[in-house]
Structure 1
Amino acid sequence: MIFLGIDAGGTKTTAVAADLNGEQLRTAQGAPGAISAIGVNGVKSLITDLLKKLDLSDSLEKIQASAFGFSGVGRADIRKSVEDEIKKIGFTDFRVFTDGELLHYSAFGESDGILLEAGTGAVAVSRKNNLLTQIGGWGYLLGDEGGGYQIGRDAIRNTLAEEEHDLPDSNLSKAIVNFYGVEKREEIMNIVYAADSAQQIISSSAITVCELANQGDSDAMTIVEDAATHLFSLLKTALEKFDADDFIKIACAGSILSNDSPVLDLFNKKLENTGYDYELVNISVEPAAAGVLYAINSSGEEASEQLLNSLKGITV
């Protein structure tokens, strides 16, 4: 029998299928799968396309259980609608997670802990006594402070404000202008408003801001310090779900919290002063691969050592 895991995020969708022994391990990648982008009506075609790439279109009966992680299914009514679309394909034994919940499972399995993710947006997911709680993840129109969108947006705002005040180009402005490949600062607005996804275009410049901050640029440091403060605020809210004497496991994920990120350094310094007894843990498997493990466990089966090792090596 085959077990399936799918992780549908804002930039891409990944899928992993495997048997218990890892002898039939398959991976595939598809289009972005955030519900805000594809709508509930796009779920069926997205999954169908991935099944074709996994060579499982005509073998649905071989899939014993599945786990699906979708960005944008935090509301119960939307999650139910997505579940209905998946049932139309022919799936019966499956669970729909938010992408943050599935990433939490990647880090902790069935154990308690706090996941903090900062990529384009920002979200925290805590699990205490089997209760999953999401903090943040409201999307760029209502939140996402601490993520790449906020960092990129603030850098662009600074660049445009310098133009309006007839100020000379700062190092940050020069870097942003160079990143977007324009000659004049105001031309950045044309790129942003002409883009199919302004959110992605804006957040893509965050890495440039982080690189400048690592070099000690004061304007860039102000922006990443603000991002770290927002992320720490998410964590503090998640910590409220725990008792003061709890030992808490915390995992950080996303490009803004990568090992070489100045945001991570600033965040860790804030974390050290919380007074909580905690441990930072690494995420050992990709979310789609973790979906396979969840599907296996929910079926009462056990993954072989060979499969576990293979799943840890997957990068889709």
Structure 2
Amino acid sequence: MNYIIGIDGGGTKTALKLADSDGKLILSNEGGPCNINSMGKEYVQKMLKELLEDTLNKSEITMEDIRVLCIGTAGVDRPDDKKIMEDIIRGTGYNGKVVITNDAETALYGGVGGNEGVILISGTGSICFGRNSEGETKRAGGWGHIIGDEGSGYYIGINAINRIAKGYDGIEEKTIMTDLILEHLNLENPQGLIQFVYRSGAGKSEIASLARLVDEAYKQGDTIAEEILLRAAFELFLTAKAVIDYLKLNRKECSLAVNGSVIEKNECVSNEFKRLMNKNYPHIKVINMKNDAAWGAVLMGMNN
């Protein structure tokens, strides 16, 4: 029997789903981060090789039984990047058909359950991707944490650090976030944030993880935390707006699926984003993903 593997390569973890040719889920599995820009080619190849080998062993099939492998991951938008990812996959020992695309496209397939619609992702990073009934596509965001990723967990975390520093310097009032984040990081004072950000080896995932503490401060009535979260929601709305307007979906009945820890679990960000969408695009329904991005990769693989 022929099988399809769908992979959602995230910045924090990689999700894999194995299905048979009839679209029946056989196995789900997980691995480490999959972004070639932040983790490097060697790490990603080793991680994927181990993940594939573990999946094949658990399902008692061989590489030759896999008809197509579809992977959606950040950092593969350019042809050169896709070639690197294909070389990585070939390096795992897999020689069958490969479909390589951005993780936003596989998320769209899984999220809206069809070709037309929009997917907004806000977790460690942020990106929006959409497709209309004519097959046109549009992406906004996804520039990475140094250039962009507005409205993401990293955006919230780094803005929190910035506002803590301003409060410490007396530029603006102090924030509840100071005590919450310093305790979480086991730091004695805000100056320790310099070590954390610049010298400790902390990456975007570690800074993004501070977003939940910003949410906690907001729930305790911190106005600066609220300001950061409302701005994050507005940035996500602007990103979605660029996609919706370009694809002329603003007057159509369609779905915008949301995915990621920030847009799904942060109540302030989620509610404000939905309010802005309902006010400006009442015909577009904001929904949770119907299926995850790894299953979206399976669907793409089946279509290819």
Instruction: Output the TM-score relative to the length of structure 2.
Output: 0.89
Equivalent of residue 109 in structure 2, options 105, 109, 115: 105
The Cα offsets for residues 39-59 of structure 1, whole Å up to 9 and x where unpaired, read as 345443332111111125971
Checking the alignment, whether the CA contact within 8 Å between 2:145 and 2:154 is kept in structure 1 is: yes
The Cα offsets for residues 46-99 of structure 1, whole Å up to 9 and x where unpaired, read as 321111111259711100112111211112221133224434533332211111
1:61 equivalent in alignment to 2:64: yes
SS in 2 for 1:46: helix
Checking the alignment, whether the CA contact within 8 Å between 1:110 and 1:130 is kept in structure 2 is: no
Equivalent of residue 82 in structure 2, options 64, 71, 79: 79
Determine the C-alpha separation between the residues in 2 that align with 1:258 and 1:23.
Answer: 27
Equivalent of residue 292 in structure 2, options 279, 286, 296: 286
Whichever residue aligns with residue 66 of structure 1, its letter is L
* Percent identity (aligned): 28
Determine the C-alpha separation between the residues in 1 that align with 2:15 and 2:175.
Answer: 40
Checking the alignment, whether the CA contact within 8 Å between 1:145 and 1:227 is kept in structure 2 is: yes
Q: CA deviation at 1:24?
A: 7.4
Name the CA shift for 1:224/1:31 in 2 (closer, same or farther; >3 Å): same
Structure 2 segments unaligned to the other structure (5+ residues): none
Q: CA deviation at 1:153?
A: 0.9
Whichever residue aligns with residue 18 of structure 1, its letter is A
Determine the C-alpha separation between the residues in 1 that align with 2:265 and 2:177.
Answer: 22
Q: CA deviation at 1:167?
A: 7.5
Whichever residue aligns with residue 80 of structure 1, its letter is K
The 5 Å alignment of 1:139-288 reads 139-165=144-170, 169-243=174-248, 244-288=250-294
Counterpart of 2:9 in structure 1 is 8
SS in 2 for 1:69: strand
Whichever residue aligns with residue 238 of structure 2, its letter is S
Checking the alignment, whether the CA contact within 8 Å between 1:12 and 1:30 is kept in structure 2 is: yes
Q: CA deviation at 1:132?
A: 2.8
Structure 1 segments unaligned to the other structure (5+ residues): 299-316
Checking the alignment, whether the CA contact within 8 Å between 1:43 and 1:86 is kept in structure 2 is: no
Checking the alignment, whether the CA contact within 8 Å between 1:70 and 1:99 is kept in structure 2 is: yes
Whichever residue aligns with residue 196 of structure 2, its letter is I
Determine the C-alpha separation between the residues in 2 that align with 1:107 and 1:260.
Answer: 19
SS in 1 for 2:246: coil
Determine the C-alpha separation between the residues in 1 that align with 2:247 and 2:145.
Answer: 28
SS in 1 for 2:95: coil
Name the CA shift for 1:282/1:168 in 2 (closer, same or farther; >3 Å): closer
Checking the alignment, whether the CA contact within 8 Å between 1:115 and 1:125 is kept in structure 2 is: yes
Name the CA shift for 1:110/1:156 in 2 (closer, same or farther; >3 Å): same
Whichever residue aligns with residue 252 of structure 2, its letter is D
Determine the C-alpha separation between the residues in 1 that align with 2:35 and 2:108.
Answer: 18
Name the CA shift for 1:155/1:24 in 2 (closer, same or farther; >3 Å): closer
The Cα offsets for residues 173-216 of structure 1, whole Å up to 9 and x where unpaired, read as 22222222212111122122233343122111111111222343
Whichever residue aligns with residue 204 of structure 2, its letter is Q
Counterpart of 1:126 in structure 2 is 130
Determine the C-alpha separation between the residues in 1 that align with 2:122 and 2:181.
Answer: 21
Checking the alignment, whether the CA contact within 8 Å between 1:159 and 1:176 is kept in structure 2 is: no
Name the CA shift for 1:168/1:216 in 2 (closer, same or farther; >3 Å): closer
1:34 equivalent in alignment to 2:35: yes
**Please, what is the CA RMSD of the aligned residues?**
2.3
Checking the alignment, whether the CA contact within 8 Å between 2:118 and 2:255 is kept in structure 1 is: yes
Instruction: Output the TM-score relative to the length of structure 1.
Output: 0.86
Whichever residue aligns with residue 248 of structure 1, its letter is C
SS in 2 for 1:250: strand
